[in-house]
Structure 1
Amino acid sequence: MDAAPLTKAGSPIPPMPERNPKALRAAIAAHAPELLPDFDAHWKRDIADTYDLAPVPAFMARWWTEYALARDPRLDGRVRELEDRAAECTDPAEARALLEEAAHLRRKAGETEPGR
């Protein structure tokens, strides 16, 4: 059996929760509390205050990816590094390549299944 991946601090990366807003919020509160104010504000603005459930899939996609990155500081750092380098880059082709790599990592994080 493979060992669980570790964070920079040496603790195991927490698994992804069940794929629903309540479980995702609980995971964010426990493992990435710095995301919680924005998560709650987004939920309130786009779903709770409107009583419209249509945005829930897009909301979940965004915050699933945000949590998948935040729970893994190494991956999160790599994505931010790529985006920062692209922002400072003067060569459009290089900037595009950096952003494409960051987007690829974000997509892969967003595809992480519950329990992984």
Structure 2
Amino acid sequence: MTAVHATPKGIPPMPERNPKALRAAIAEHAPALLPDFDRAWRRDIADAYDLAPVPAFLARWWGEFALARDPELDARVTDLEDRAAEATDTATARALLEEAAHLRREASKAEPGQ
């Protein structure tokens, strides 16, 4: 893994795009995610005879780390999702979830080093 330095906003950059580098970045900068990452790895990949699931696994956890490394963005997405769960009408809930999904997608577009 390349050296990880904090960005000017204090947000660590994304690691190299591979499971080992991603796991190390999660362990260092978002350790609360590590048990779920390891559990998912063991369940989905570790005993697999087919490596086809690796890109989907990496994409999912890339997005999770991209969000978790930015506490403000993570809190905003969590707030949107919580508000959607409490919404009394479907249009409001849908709009809140769409905004949260948009933020998740944008975060997951981060490239290594960004």
TM-score by length of 2: 0.91
The Cα shift of 1:4 comes to 1.7
Pick the aligned partner of 2:8 from 1, 4, 10: 4
Aligned partners of 1:91 and 1:78: how far apart in 2?
Answer: 21
The Cα shift of 1:80 comes to 0.3
4+ residue segments displaced more than 3 Å: none
Alignment match, 1:28: 26
Q: Deviations over 1:36-60 (max 9, x none)?
A: 1110111111111123211111101
RMSD value, Cα: 1.0
Q: Deviations over 1:50-103 (max 9, x none)?
A: 232111111011100000111100000000000000000011111100000000
**Structure 2, unaligned runs of 5 or more:** 1-6
Pick the aligned partner of 2:94 from 93, 96, 104: 96
Aligned residue pair count: 108
Aligned partners of 2:93 and 2:22: how far apart in 1?
Answer: 32
TM-score by length of 1: 0.90
50-59 or 16-25, which moves further after superposition? 50-59
Q: Deviations over 1:15-34 (max 9, x none)?
A: 00000000000000000011
Aligned partners of 1:51 and 1:34: how far apart in 2?
Answer: 29
Alignment match, 1:84: 82
Alignment of 1:1-116 (within 5 A): 4-5=8-9, 12-116=10-114
What percentage of residue pairs aligned between the two structures are identical? Answer: 77
